[in-house]
Amino acid sequence: MGRNDQYLFVPYLILFSVIVAAAANISRDQDALLSVKAHIINDNPNNILAQNWTSNTSVCSWMGITCDVYGNRVTSLTIPDLGLTGTIPSYLGNLSSLQTLVLSHNWFSGEIPEELGNLAELEVLVLNNNLLTGTIPDSIFNLSSISTGLDFSNNSLTGSFPNDMCEGLPRLKGLYVSYNQFKGPIPNNLWHCKELSSVSLSFNQFIGRIPRDLGNSTKLKLLYLSFNNLIGTYPGYLPSIIYNT
């Protein structure tokens, strides 16, 4: 075999390496999701996950799963309203290409796992209407990829929000945390989330005054603050925002 003939094999070797790596990635994602299935309890009488999430079929065909166009990675996990119970599995943090995670309207309890902060490509996190307790992990406030929104509403979460939260969430458009037990002041620097358009903080235990600098939030259209322990009068510097509804 001549030297030129050897070079002919290089593109094939590269292609083979890419295929092997892609297969390994989707296999890891499938293993992570099978671990998730084994961890949670499905109270739905149809037991959908047990019947649908099996190693006999491609993970990209599973209910609630979306993969990228090449079928190499899982990019979305959307399994709301399935009667799922137990705690949110930490294995979800292994789905490193996940962009959308929706677990809303189930019966998940316990704390939000710190490992969700490993999802460096996550754009939307929706955990509303569960039985979650504890605080929001600090790692969540450093998911700079989050854009569409964070929804933790209708749980029993506690704690406060860091004043510099927008430094880690610069693209955040929606923050929904109503009907929890959050305390402390509304972050003064919330307006640093330049893309923020909707904020729902109602039915918590926030204290203090509404930050004046929220008037610098040029894209903010909806602001729900009712049923907290806030003081002061209607913020006249926010004339276009729905307040106290």
Contacts of 82 (CB under 8 A, 6+ apart): 42, 44, 48, 49, 106
Largest CA distance in the chain: 85
Q: CA 177 to CA 64: how far, in whole Å?
A: 24
Q: CA 31 to CA 21: how far, in whole Å?
A: 15
Q: Residue 41 has what pLDDT?
A: 80
Q: Cα dihedral angle (152, 156, 158, 162), rounded to 10 degrees?
A: 0
Q: CA 63 to CA 48: how far, in whole Å?
A: 8
In a 3-state reduction of DSSP, which class is residue 114? Answer: helix
- Local mean pLDDT, 10-residue blocks, the chain (245 residues): 52 37 73 91 74 91 95 96 92 96 96 97 98 97 96 98 95 98 95 94 95 87 92 68 52
Q: Residue 43 has what pLDDT?
A: 61
CA distances from 99 to 92, 169, 213 (A): 12, 15, 31
Answer yes or no: are the C-beta atoms of 83 and 44 closer than 8 Å: yes
Q: Residue 85 has what pLDDT?
A: 92
Answer yes or no: are the C-beta atoms of 165 and 187 closer than 8 Å: yes
Q: Residue 197 has what pLDDT?
A: 94
Q: CA 74 to CA 57: how far, in whole Å?
A: 14
